[in-house]
Amino acid sequence: QEVVCPEAVDRIRGIISTLPIENGWRFIEPLCLYQGFWCHPSLTERIMLGEEFFKAEPNDIFVCSPPKSGTTWIKALTFAIVTRTCFDGSTSPLLLKMPHECVPALHRIFGKKPDIREPGLPLIATHSPYASLPKSVLNSDCKIVYICRDPKDAFISLFHFKAKLRPQEIEPISLEAAFDLYCEGKSDFGPFWDHILGYWRTSLERPGKILFLKYEDMMKDTTFYVKKLSEFMGYPFSLEEEKEGVVQKIVELCSFEFMSNLEVNKNGMLFGIRNHQVRNKNFFRKGKVGDWRNHLTPEMAERLDKIIEQKLAASGFGR
Ligand code: A3P
C-alpha cells in the first residue's frame, strides 16, 4: 500500500520506537503510550499521520468512541440517518456491508489519498481521544458525535474481543490480569476515564460541537436518540417521515438483533491490526446492558465504580 508521505512515516516510526510500551495484554501488538493514551503502534502511526495530514471540512461529522462502547451501532445509525434519502430499508448498504466498511475510519489515512472520505458521505469515525484529534477537527465547525458506555461493560466487551482476536500461539491473559491493566488505565485508547472526560468537558463547553451519548440511555429509548442524533447532525426528520415510520425503520435496521443476523455480519471478515483478519461477528457479542454482572466479582465492580466516581464524578458526569 502506498503511503501518504514516506518521510513522515519514517519520522513517526522513529518517534513511536521511543515510546513507553505495555505488553501485559499479550496481544498481536503491545500498547504504546502516545500523548497520554495507550494504543497499538501500527494504529498510533495512522493517528499521527491523521494529525499531520487530515484537513477537516465544516460539513464533516466525526463519530467518536472508546473501543467496545457501541461504535458499530453508532456508525450504523449515523450512516442510516444521513443516507436515508438515497436508500430504503431494502437497498441500504448496511445490509451487505459491515458498519465499519460503511463509515471510513480516520486511520485509513495510511493510504496514498489523504482524503479518506467516502464520496457524498460526511461521516468519519475514530477512537482517538479528543485532545489527539487533528487540530483542524478541533478548530473547525465540524460536529462530533460521541458514544461511551459503562466502563464495566466496556471492559468485559474488550476482554472477550481481544480473546477472540488473539492468535492461538499467544498465551491468553486472565480476566483478573486484564482487569488490573484496565483499572490502571492501560487499555486500548485508555485510560478510559481520560477518554470520556475529554469529550464530556468539551460537550459542556461547546454543546453545538459535541453530542455526548451513552450506550445505556440509547438502549432504553433508541427512537428518542435517533431523532436527537439526526437533529444534531443537521438531518432532522420531517413530520411526514415520522408519520411514515422512517425513524422506527432505522432503529430496527440498526438493532443488534437485526444486524447480528445479517449474513455479512455472521460470516464476513475485516482486516484489523497488522492485517490480521477479524470476523465481523466478533463485533456483535451480546449487545446487552449489565453483562459485567456475569463476569466481575462484586469486589471488582466496586473497584471500577470507585475509579469512575473518583475520576469522573467531579466533572458532573453520570449525574
Ligand atoms: P458486547 O461485547 O457487550 O456484546 P464496538 O462496536 O465499539 O466495538 O462495541 C461492541 C459492543 O457493542 C459489543 O458489546 C457488541 O455486542 C455491541 N453492539 C454491536 N452492534 C450493536 C447494535 N447494533 N446495537 C447494540 N449493541 C451493539
Phi-psi region of 190 (alpha: psi -120 to 50; beta: other; left: phi over 0): beta
Amino acid at 267: N
Distance 47 CA to ligand 1 centre (A): 23
124 within 8 A of 61, measured Cβ to Cβ:
yes
SS3 296: coil
| Ligand 1 pocket member 252 (CB < 6 A) | no
String of DSSP letters for 199-243: HHHHHHH-TTTEEEEEHHHHHH-HHHHHHHHHHHHT-PPPHHHHH
Mutational pocket test of ligand 1: of 285, 286, 296, the residue with most ligand atoms within 8 Å of the beta carbon: 285
Q: Note whether 29 and 42 are within 8 A (CB).
A: yes
> With a 6 A CB cut-off, is 53 part of the ligand 1 pocket?
no
Cα 105 to middle of ligand 1, angstroms: 17
ipTM: 0.99
Q: Which domains does the chain have, with CATH numbers?
A: 6-315 (3.40.50.300)
User: One digit per residue, pLDDT tens: the chain, 319 residues?
Assistant: 567 788 999 999 999 999 999 999 999 999 999 999 999 999 999 999 989 888 999 999 999 999 999 999 999 999 999 999 999 778 999 999 999 999 999 987 766 666 788 899 999 999 999 999 999 999 988 999 999 999 999 999 999 999 999 988 999 999 999 999 999 999 999 999 999 999 999 999 999 999 999 999 999 999 999 999 999 999 999 999 999 999 999 999 999 999 999 999 999 998 777 777 899 999 999 999 999 999 999 999 999 999 999 998 888 887 5
Please give the distance, rounded to the nearest whole angstrom, from the Cα atom of residue 18 to the centre of ligand 1.
34
Distance 138 CA to ligand 1 centre (A): 27
Is the minimum distance from the CB of 71 to ligand 1 under 6 angstroms?
yes
Question: Whole-angstrom Cα distance, residue 95 to residue 76?
Answer: 10
The answer to whether the CB of 103 is under 6 A from ligand 1 is no
Beta bridge partners of 39: 32
Give me the DSSP letters along 150-179.
-HHHHHHHHHHHHHHHS-TTSPPPPHHHHH
Question: Under a CB-based contact definition with an 8 Å cutoff, are residues 141 and 74 in contact?
Answer: no
Q: Which of 100, 107, 127, 195 is catalytic?
A: 127
Residue 127 designated active-site? yes
Amino acid type, 166: R
So what's the pLDDT on residue 264?
A: 97
Helix (H/G/I), strand (E/B), else coil: 8 = helix
Confirm if 307 and 295 have CB atoms less than 8 A apart.
Answer: no
* 292, three cell numbers: 459485567
